[in-house]
Amino acid sequence: MTTAAQGKTGFRGLKVVAKTVESSLITSFLLQSEDGSDLPAFRPGQFLVFKIPSGDAKDYVLRNYSLSGSPDDLRHYRISVKREAAAGPGLPEGLSSSYLHDSIDVGDVLQADGPRGEFTLDEASNRPVVLLSGGVGLTPMVAMMNALANHSERRTLFLHACENGEVHALRSEVEALVGKRAGLFAHYCYRTPSPEDRAANRFHSEGFVTREVLQRLLCLDDYEVYLCGPPPFMQAMYQTLRGLGLAKNRIAYEFFGPATVLDTEDKPKQVASAAGAAPAPAAGAITVEFRKSGITAAWDDSTQSLLSFAEDLGLKPDFSCRAGICGTCVSKIVSGDVTYFEDPLEELADGELLLCCSRPKSPVVLDL
């Protein structure tokens, strides 16, 4: 049996009421319900899932885009979409981003589900905050910055890395938020600033966000860091932060891959032996048995999901989105109960579960 998370809304029509070019690569789309009524509230950091026409036998693909607007605006959602370049010579540009940039205008209606996602600002905390982003990874950070500027007194640093001023999106909005109260700061690191960037003093550091830059800006043992950007950027930043002594539980990140990829020195929490056995569970512990793999282990409640738990044990289940969207990580459950912290986007057959967004609520046996 499974217990669904609360608040599932399903796909709904969202009308584009404004389309704004934010940089040479990023365009924002302001969305509202088709009847103009209030939309479900979202937590800063969450995203929407969109049905994008695919042009082939399957009539759509699913894509998720972070909400970049203010959580206080209950009438609108905003997404800020980067036009994705072609993967190589002769190959097309990104299907969904090209569709949104080139084919969607004011008045058009998009089909979206959500808000979704566990990468959210801890609004109950009083610790100082670093919003650390690379490229289009700044989009959830702008939503977080809105919340921190309007509803918090926490010291906050908005630290953003990008190529140069031509591709730097939403800068004026961040600057306006920084000016709202004391204790808000922004730092921009341009990898290859242009002469115009230099003349206008548009950036604060040049090249990459280095250990020295972070040491100069932060007292790292006191901050909570939210991290989002391209995988190489995230891996470099995660390892740098850890090397400076920041605890793993102080770093939140949006990353659609195994967490161990971010820190190559981190070891799995539990490791199966050569004979395929994990450490013996304590009496009364909730256990997870991976029947085909011959592994049974005590569930670690600090683990995000059954998918992460399997990876910690050295297993390699198929996955893609890690957010309950694509269905790639579907598995058979032989016995036991799980609960979902994120609703699966599509209804599952009896005896199936999604590993990426579920946790055990009793001992479970998986056909994996």
Gap between the Cα atoms of 134 and 114, Å rounded = 24
pLDDT profile of the chain (368 residues), mean per 10: 44 97 98 96 96 79 94 97 73 80 97 94 96 97 98 97 98 98 97 98 97 88 91 94 91 70 53 47 80 92 89 86 83 93 85 92 93
| Dihedral of alpha carbons 172, 177, 180, 183, sign | negative
Between 171-178 and 138-151, two packed helices, what is the crossing angle to 10 degrees?
20
Q: For residue 14, report the phi and psi dihedrals to the nearest 5 degrees.
A: -120, 125
Q: Where are the beta strands (DSSP E) in the chain?
A: 2-3, 12-21, 26-33, 47-53, 60-66, 77-82, 109-116, 129-134, 156-162, 184-190, 205-206, 224-228, 251-253, 287-290, 295-298, 330-335, 338-340, 352-354, 358-360, 364-366
Gap between the Cα atoms of 23 and 163, Å rounded = 12
> What are the helix (H) ranges across the chain?
95-103, 138-151, 171-178, 195-200, 211-217, 231-243, 306-312
Q: What angle do CA 356, 71, 174 make, to 5 degrees?
A: 105
pLDDT the model gives residue 275: 40
CATH architecture for segment(s) 129-261: 3-Layer(aba) Sandwich (3.40)
Domain boundaries, the chain: 2-116, 129-261, 287-366
pLDDT the model gives residue 4: 34
Q: What angle do CA 222, 224, 230 make, to 5 degrees?
A: 135
Q: Which residues 6+ apart lie within 8 Å of 233 measured at CB?
A: 134, 135, 137, 161
- Alpha carbon distance, N-terminus to C-terminus of the chain: 17
Greatest distance between any 2 Cα atoms in the chain:
67
| Dihedral of alpha carbons 209, 212, 213, 218, sign | positive
Query: Which residues make beta-bridge pairs with 27?
Result: 21, 81
Task: Tell which CATH classification among 3.40.50.2300, 3.10.20.30, 3.20.20.80, 3.30.70.580 matches the domain 287-366.
Answer: 3.10.20.30
pLDDT the model gives residue 82: 96
Residue 311 class from Cβ within 10 Å (0-12 exposed, 13-18 middle, 19+ buried)?
buried
Domains 2-116 and 129-261 share a fold: no
Give the alpha-carbon dihedral of 82, 87, 93, 95, to 10 degrees: -80
pTM of the model: 0.82
CATH number of 2-116: 2.40.30.10
CB contact burial 4-15 (16+ within 10 A = b; e otherwise): eeeeeeeebebb
